[in-house]
């Protein structure tokens, strides 16, 4: 077990660099195929697609780990690009269901193979046991801040 903070002093730096590298790779590959979309927007569209093409906005806000204002801007950007529509729940004017448009569905289908390739690239040379340990460590670090 680590005993000194010096041994983990660069954890935030390393996590940030990995995240930025991944985001840059996705953004560059998406641009190569003529798509201007952020990684956050992509993840949002993919989550809706994985839920059958529609999902309650509240659920996606919770899954996105962002505040309501940030998520609202993200949603409005996707609506403006005509990739999503917001439909009110019947009888509840405050709640919305987010629905992929045909254009949104086509985009997800276009980008999914690229995203799969990038996910494979990220884990190249990492065996299953290393991956499991990596995820356990990340979970433990997160849990340490949740206590």
The pTM for the full model equals 0.82
Taking only the tens of pLDDT, the chain with its 147 residues reads: 666 666 666 788 889 999 999 999 999 999 999 999 999 999 999 999 998 998 888 777 777 777 778 888 988 999 999 999 988 877 767 778 889 999 999 999 999 999 999 999 999 999 999 999 999 999 998 899 887
Distance CA 37, CA 89 (A): 28
Determine whether domain 37-146 maps to CATH 1.10.10.10. Answer: yes
pLDDT of residue 9: 66
- Annotated domain spans of the chain: 37-146
- Find where tokens 């005509």 sit: 82
Contact assessment for residue 85 and residue 99, using Cβ atoms and an 8 Å cutoff: yes
Distance CA 4, CA 9 (A): 9
What phi, psi does 31 have (nearest 5°)?
A: -65, -35
Q: Which residues pair with 92 in a beta bridge?
A: 89
């Amino acid at each position: 077990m680590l005993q000194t903070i010096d041994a983990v002093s660069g954890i935030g730096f390393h996590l940030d660099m990995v995240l930025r590298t991944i985001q840059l790779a996705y953004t560059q590959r998406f641009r190569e195929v003529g798509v201007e979309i952020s990684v956050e927007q992509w993840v949002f569209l993919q989550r809706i697609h994985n839920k059958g093409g529609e999902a309650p906005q509240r659920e996606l806000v919770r899954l996105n780990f962002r505040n309501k204002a940030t998520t609202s801007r993200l949603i409005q950007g996707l609506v403006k690009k005509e990739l999503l529509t917001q439909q009110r729940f019947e009888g509840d004017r405050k709640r919305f269901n987010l629905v992929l448009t045909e254009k949104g569905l086509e985009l997800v289908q276009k980008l999914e193979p690229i995203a799969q390739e990038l996910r494979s690239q990220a884990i190249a040379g990492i065996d299953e046991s290393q991956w499991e340990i990596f995820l356990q460590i990340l979970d433990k670090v997160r849990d340490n801040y949740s206590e």
